[in-house]
Amino acid sequence: MKKLLTAILFVPVLAFAAGAELHLDRAPDRANDTAALQNGAKIFVNYCLNCHSASYMRYNRLKDIGLSDPQIRENLLFTADKVGEPMKIAMQRAEAKAWFGVAPPDLTIIARARASESGSGADWLYTYLRGFYRDESRPTGWNNAVFANVGMPHVLWELQGDQLMGEDHKLTLAKPGKLKPQEFDALVGDLVGYLKYMGEPVAEFRKQLGVIVLIFLAVIFVFAYALKREYWKDIH
């Protein structure tokens, strides 16, 4: 009986391990592109912030990507009164769970949370957001090639159009959207770039500071080695 229970518990794990490895497309790097990050922030506020909060990110951090207080207040401040407030939503978690079956997750660190051996969190999000396809068996009418049986509807469908999943498990664009495929990919790249930035706004500063520290240590090493030779010259 004990062996049987052990086997039942490990069947899902073995089945998952035997499945095909998830292929993730490489997300474009937007880290040093302030225009793209600003566009990503606009897309996030208009399409994601209706259901998903980013409660650990404050609107005033958008000044780090080149936006001023008036620009933030006039163009992006729809769910708060002050620029210093976090990006929260009015919908309560209990209401969201009743409507969607599960409360939409907070997206502040989603790019970091989705990192895995298959690729970075940005790669996962970039592939996921471009992987929706029509599936009438799902409550929302949508499914996803990366996240099977996803509960989230395709909020960008008007821009991308309708994709269908073929028998070869490949996606084809059956009905074009408002944007051309290359334009839609660029838009998703901007959105993912912003989501990645939001998870660690000081990432680029941290990298630059790391380079400065390494250069400083290299210079100090030269002087320290010269001093060591001066102290030990009589012994050697």
Same-domain status, 138 and 176: yes
Residue 6 or 218, more confident: 218
pLDDT for position 117: 62
pLDDT for position 21: 61
The whole-number average pLDDT for the span 171-184 is: 96
Return the C-alpha torsion angle 72, 198, 104, 142, nearest 10: 90
pLDDT for position 62: 95
pLDDT at 137 over 60: yes
Same-domain status, 104 and 211: no
Domain count, the chain: 2
Work out the pLDDT band at 9, boundaries 50, 70, 90: very low
Same-domain status, 152 and 50: yes
The whole-number average pLDDT for the span 73-85 is: 89
pLDDT for position 1: 39
pLDDT for position 93: 76
Same-domain status, 196 and 207: no
Same-domain status, 178 and 224: no
Same-domain status, 134 and 236: no
Same-domain status, 183 and 235: no
Alpha-carbon dihedral sign for residues 173, 130, 180, 170 = negative
Work out the pLDDT band at 92, boundaries 50, 70, 90: confident
What range does the domain containing 231 cover?
A: 203-236
Same-domain status, 182 and 235: no
Alpha carbon of residue 66 to chain centroid: 20
Distance CA 139, CA 18 (A): 29
CATH of the domain at 28: 1.10.760.10
What pTM value is reported for the model?
0.80
pLDDT for position 16: 34
Residue with tokens 């996962």: 124
- Average pLDDT of the chain to the nearest whole number: 86
Contacts of residues 152-161 at CB distance under 8 Å and 24 or more positions apart, as own/partner, are: 152/100, 152/104, 155/47, 155/48, 156/47, 156/129, 156/132, 156/184, 156/187, 156/188, 157/132, 159/184, 159/187, 160/130, 160/132, 160/184
pLDDT at 4 over 50: no
Same-domain status, 45 and 110: yes
pLDDT for position 230: 81
Same-domain status, 121 and 225: no
Work out the pLDDT band at 6, boundaries 50, 70, 90: very low
pLDDT at 175 over 50: yes
Residue with tokens 């209990």: 94
Same-domain status, 130 and 184: yes
pLDDT at 149 over 80: yes
Work out the pLDDT band at 183, boundaries 50, 70, 90: very high
221-231 per-position pLDDT tens digit: 998 988 888 88
Alpha carbon of residue 231 to chain centroid: 54
Work out the pLDDT band at 236, boundaries 50, 70, 90: low
